[in-house]
Amino acid sequence: MKRVALPGGEEVPALGMGTWMIGEDAARRSEEISTLQQGIDLGMTLIDTAEMYGDGASEKLVGQAIRGRRDRVFLVSKVYPHNAGRKAAQLACERSLKRLGVDCLDLYLLHWRGDVPFTETIEAFVALQAQGKIRHWGVSNFDLDDLQAWCDLPGGDAVATNQVLYNLTRRGIEWDLLPWCQQQQMPVMAYCPLAQAGRLRDGLLNNSVVTDIARAHNATAAQILLAWVISHEGVMAIPKAGTVAHAQENAAALNITLSAEDLARLDNAFPAPG
């Protein structure tokens, strides 16, 4: 299992599971729980959720899925920007812990930048860490200016990761954010690594270069896309899986090593920003 090191040396799986829009349909609950449990059994033990997802429904489902498996899971949740103040973050974290049925989060992220001063959020995260309610903390959807401003504040350089949109069609972070994070040895967590649903994703999965490389590796297009994301230094990915078969497909991407020729072809088909 490929792993990515957090600041301080702790390692987490390079491929985990996202849970956006999971837990909102009672008819699919059993299948979604089984999917998460299958993913854990396959080594995708990093699970990402948020208080925003289904207004807490995703956290509740994740809590049910990891019951009896908590010690195997690296659990991530995110706080709304409007809940990121000193007292509000404390209360929001406690609500998330209750929904998840756990005593501590492995990683707690500010979901995106809001109006609460960074200093307040950092103080809140440090306090939660001191109380043993979170182990690590970080940010999400930060561009380079935001991230540098955060890291320049007292205590801000303890940020563990930045969770951002990143896939073969959305390579903007390669312009400045990703190189800076790599230089700082700060990992990046990629959401929507297979692109978002709709025509964009369909076009990516059916792209002739992607499908040709997939055939050469006896793999699926989705597996090639995941292998591409996690081939980058310090990058982990959290694709969503809606079925057990989908979780199995995602996990198999860990067995794929793209060649220099593969990577060059993908670069030519989907150029990085200039």
How does pLDDT run across 103-155, given as a tens digit for each residue?
999 999 999 999 999 999 999 999 999 999 999 999 999 999 999 999 999 99
Alpha carbons 242 and 240: distance in angstroms, whole number = 7
Nearest to 241 by CA among 26, 28, 32, 14: 32
How does pLDDT run across 49-61, given as a tens digit for each residue?
999 999 999 999 9
Q: What strands lie across the sheet with 46-48, from one edge to the other?
A: 17-18, 46-48, 74-79, 105-110, 134-140, 162-165, 188-191, 235-237
The SS3 call for residue 12 is: strand
Please, which pLDDT band fits residue 203 given cuts at 50, 70 and 90?
confident
Residue 220 is predicted with a pLDDT of 97
Nearest to 139 by CA among 102, 97, 186, 183: 186
Whether the Cβ atoms of residue 130 and residue 101 lie closer than 8 Å to each other = no
The residue assigned the tokens 């008819």 is 27
- Is residue 53 flagged as an active site residue? yes
Quick check: 260 pLDDT over 80? yes
The residue type of 17 is M
How does pLDDT run across 205-217, given as a tens digit for each residue?
999 999 999 999 9
Of 53, 108, 166, 191, which one is the catalytic site residue? 53
Quick check: 197 pLDDT over 80? no
Quick check: 200 pLDDT over 80? no
Residue 233 is predicted with a pLDDT of 97
Whether the Cβ atoms of residue 23 and residue 247 lie closer than 8 Å to each other = no
Quick check: 198 pLDDT over 70? no
Nearest to 6 by CA among 46, 52, 44: 46
More confident residue, 197 or 40: 40
> What pairs with residue 108 in β-bridges?
77, 137
Please, which pLDDT band fits residue 1 given cuts at 50, 70 and 90?
confident
Residue 201 is predicted with a pLDDT of 78
> What pairs with residue 164 in β-bridges?
190
First to last CA, the chain: 33
> What pairs with residue 74 in β-bridges?
46
Residues in contact with 116: Cβ distance below 8 Å, sequence separation at least 6, in sequence order:
81, 82, 84, 85, 88
Residue 214 is predicted with a pLDDT of 98
Nearest to 78 by CA among 57, 102, 54, 53: 53
